[in-house]
């Protein structure tokens, strides 16, 4: 369980991004974290990882404060930021370097995820395009097999086929105890993936509910616009 309790955080002391903000991710499954630009979605992911520290309040992972950066917590968390780079080494060497930090890392799952993206493990990271690097890094993130996977705009820069491959890779990597939190504006890329949707706006959680499909697939864009127009 991820518990965010009454936090205050700002990159400038006089201009908080979040103030008195609380939110729980209490169930496993795939969450969509939605909100307008500047509402603090990316900031929340970094606070959950303990890479940012709230000025007040607390973020806890299974009852342990995220700011402590405890090894037993970090080995169950993986962050895919919106922008990143990879070292100019082979993928096999990269995996050898990071695998000890993730006790449940699955080579089998890595091969399966790479296959979904039509890639292999016998590649040099320095020779890849940005789109290819993104697919490789997401494969590594899924193969780390952590209980908590946080992803910031994971489909940005992917072509139409790659977005479909991404959805398949996430679905095939899911387990009963796994929680995936996807912060995105590309709602059509992920709406068929989601079990839950969380919509935030100006330090408020407008919606944090399971998605229940009836006769028609849920249109996440319509739900987002309607929620912002008619907040509870």
The domain that contains 181 carries what CATH number? 3.40.50.300
The string of pLDDT tens digits covering residues 43-90 is 999 999 999 999 999 999 999 999 999 999 999 999 999 988 899 999
Q: 169 lies in which domain range?
A: 27-38+69-229
What pLDDT is stored for residue 232 in this prediction? 56
The string of pLDDT tens digits covering residues 148-189 is 999 999 999 888 999 999 999 999 999 899 999 999 998 889
- Asked if the model's pLDDT at residue 216 lies above 80, the reply is no
Confidence band for 213, pLDDT divided at 50, 70 and 90: low
Confidence band for 191, pLDDT divided at 50, 70 and 90: confident
What pLDDT is stored for residue 163 in this prediction? 92
Count Cβ atoms below 10 Å from residue 169 Cβ, excluding itself.
23
Q: 9 lies in a domain?
A: no
The pTM (predicted TM-score) of the whole model is: 0.93
Query: For residue 65, what are the contacts with CB-CB under 8 A and spacing of at least 6?
Result: 58, 59
- Asked if the model's pLDDT at residue 141 lies above 70, the reply is yes
3-state secondary structure of 71: helix
Based on the structure, what is the number of domains in the chain? 1
Q: 106 lies in a domain?
A: yes
Count Cβ atoms below 10 Å from residue 189 Cβ, excluding itself.
21
What pLDDT is stored for residue 230 in this prediction? 75
Q: 51 lies in a domain?
A: no
Q: 52 lies in a domain?
A: no
Q: 90 lies in a domain?
A: yes
Catalogue the long-range contacts made by 213-222 (C-beta closer than 8 Å, 24 or more residues apart).
217/191, 217/192, 218/191, 219/191, 220/32, 220/34, 220/187, 220/188, 220/190, 220/191, 220/194, 221/187, 221/188
Q: 3 lies in a domain?
A: no
The string of pLDDT tens digits covering residues 106-138 is 999 999 999 999 999 899 999 998 889 999 999
What pLDDT is stored for residue 96 in this prediction? 96
């Amino acid at each position: 369980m991820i518990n965010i309790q009454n936090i205050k955080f700002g990159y400038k002391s006089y201009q908080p991004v979040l103030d008195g903000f609380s939110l729980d991710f209490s169930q496993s499954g795939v969450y969509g974290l939605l909100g307008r630009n500047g509402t603090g979605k990316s900031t929340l992911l970094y606070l959950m990882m303990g890479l940012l520290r709230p000025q007040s309040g607390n973020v806890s992972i299974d009852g342990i404060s995220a700011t402590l950066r405890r090894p037993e917590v970090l080995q169950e968390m993986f962050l895919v930021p919106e922008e990143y780079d990879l070292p100019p080494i082979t993928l096999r060497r990269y995996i050898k370097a990071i695998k000890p930090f993730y006790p449940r890392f699955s080579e089998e799952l890595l091969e399966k995820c790479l296959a979904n993206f039509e890639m292999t493990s016998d590649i040099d990271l320095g020779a890849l395009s940005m789109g290819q690097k993104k697919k490789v890094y997401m494969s590594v993130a899924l193969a780390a097999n952590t209980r908590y996977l946080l992803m910031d705009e994971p489909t940005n820069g992917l072509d139409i086929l790659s977005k479909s491959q991404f959805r398949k890779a996430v679905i095939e990597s899911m387990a009963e105890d796994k929680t995936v939190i996807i912060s995105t504006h590309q709602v059509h890329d992920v709406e068929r993936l989601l079990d839950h949707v969380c919509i935030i706006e100006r330090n408020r959680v407008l919606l944090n509910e399971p998605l229940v499909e009836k006769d028609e697939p849920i249109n996440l864009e319509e739900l987002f616009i309607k929620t912002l127009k008619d907040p509870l």
